[in-house]
Amino acid sequence: MLEKINKLAGEIGRDVNLMEVCGTHTQVISRSGICKVLPKNVHLITGPGCPVCVTAQGDIDAIISLALAGVPVATYGDLLRVPGQFGSLDQAREKGAKVFDVYSTEDALKLKEENPDLVFFGLGFETTTPMTAWAIKKGLTVYSTHKRFLPAMEALLAAGEVRIDGFIDPGHVSAIIGERPYDDLDAAQVITGFTEDDVLQGILMLLDQIKENRKDVENQYKRVVKKEGNKNARKIINEVFEIGDGDWRGFGIIANSGLEIREKYEKFDAKKKYKSILDKIDFSKSVDPNGCRCGDVIRGMINPKQCPMFARVCTPENPVGPCMVSVEGACHNFFREAE
């Protein structure tokens, strides 16, 4: 495959920018050193595929405020160390707040038995949303920051800040939404799996499209991703959530990208249940720390090494922004690759 990639890259004869938009792809690419063996004119750019990284600072400040106000909080482990204007969830726990890290919504439901007021911080794309929807139906209170992924890809193309010749489409999201939703994107795309060979084959398929001036949606991950996706998963998402505008770190508001809890299940909506606490937050202070360029990294404007804080002030042990905290974050992976 590498021989074929080199041959195609030579025939294209110009710089090619391919963006991966899944945090697991970022991990695979970093761990396997794929960038080091590609032709010099083929560049891999990390996009907004890390759910923790794209969660808006205001939402992080909100969940930390709930914890500090005495509300038990559960979420996935990566989020605990993301700093905000009130510290991090880890620091809130050190102050006595009830903060739990969980591996699944099932774990959160078990915690709820002893902590009836527990709030689960729901984040992620279509991959994790069905599990949160199921838990809401089981009576779990949720602060939702769940997002639809395609609007972010559309926003990247519309902004035109970075030339994107092709997308390595996310395999996990695609397993839920299927192939068809990508058809409206004006870009070469390959839905790709998660082994090193999968990623190399996805790159090869993209280069073939670029050489032939095609903008198709191809599916390298057919062993998992079907044309229609997972209808049952989408059904439970649509039953529990409704589409609204979503707030993304690095982008701001993206229309029709957010997933909010429907009125039918509003008694399990933490944003409504704890409105009196959340209304006291000054969200104008919910901004990235001075000098942190996580938002630019998320949009592919720079690579992590171009941030002046990278590996100097900001490290996995002392993270300034979420891109260094999460194992799916570009900064975290660039740092680990350099070690």
The amino acid present at 195, given as its one-letter code, is: T
Q: Average pLDDT for residues 39-44, to the nearest whole number? A: 97
HSE toward the beta carbon, residue 121, CA cutoff 13 A: 28
Distance of alpha carbon 56 from alpha carbon 80, whole angstroms: 14
CATH number assigned to the domain comprising residue 181: 3.40.50.11740
339 within a domain of the structure (yes/no): no
Q: HEC states along the chain?
A: CHHHHHHHHHHHCCCEEEEECCHHHHHHHHHHCHHHHCCCCEEEEECCCCHHHHECHHHHHHHHHHHHCCCCEEEEHHHHHCCEECECHHHHHHCCCCEEEECCHHHHHHHHCCCCCCEEEECCCCCCHHHHHHHHHCCCEEEECCECCHHHHHHHHHHCCCCCCEEEECHHHHHHHCCHHHHHCCCEEEECCCCHHHHHHHHHHHHHHHHCCCCCEEECCCCCCCCCCCHHHHHHHHHHEEEEEEEECCCEEEEEEEEEECHHHHHHEHHHHCHHHHCCCCHHHCCCCCCCCHHHHHCCCCCHHHCCCECCCEECCECCCHHHHCCCCHHHHHHHHHC
- 229, part of any domain: yes
The pTM of this model reads: 0.94
Query: Is a pLDDT exceeding 90 seen at residue 14?
Result: yes
For residue 128, what pLDDT band results from cuts at 50, 70 and 90? very high
* pLDDT score, position 207: 98
114-124 pLDDT, tens digit each: 999 999 999 99
With a cut of 90, say whether residue 166 has pLDDT above it: yes
Strands 16-20, 42-46: pairing kind: parallel
Residue-number span of the structural domain to which 209 is assigned: 1-334
Residue 141, strand partner residues? 119
> Residue 170 falls within a domain, yes or no?
yes
Average pLDDT over the chain, rounded to an integer: 96
- Say whether pLDDT at 338 is over 90: no
Residue 119: inside a domain: yes
- Asked whether residue 77 carries a pLDDT value surpassing 90, the answer given is no
Closest to 224 measured CA to CA, from 198, 189, 200, 204: 198
Position 337 scores a pLDDT of 85
Q: What does the pLDDT look like over 289-330, one tens digit per residue?
A: 888 999 999 999 999 999 999 999 999 999 999 999 999 999
Express each pLDDT in 240-284 by its tens digit: 999 999 999 999 999 999 999 999 999 999 999 999 999 999 999
**Do β-strands 119-122 and 141-144 pair in parallel, antiparallel, or remain unpaired?**
parallel
Please count the structural domains in the chain. 1
141 pLDDT higher than 80: yes
Q: Looking at residue 289, what is its pLDDT?
A: 83
Arithmetic mean of pLDDT, 184-201: 97
Evaluate whether residue 192 is within a structural domain.
yes
The predicted pLDDT at position 91 comes to: 96
Q: What percent of the chain has pLDDT over 90?
A: 97
Q: What is the pLDDT of residue 288?
A: 86
First-to-final CA distance of the chain: 28
pLDDT digits (tens, 9 = 90+) for 202-248: 999 999 999 999 999 999 999 999 999 999 999 999 999 999 999 99
- Tokens representing 106 are 């099932």
Is the pLDDT reported for residue 15 higher than 90? Answer: yes
pLDDT reading at 339 higher than 80: no
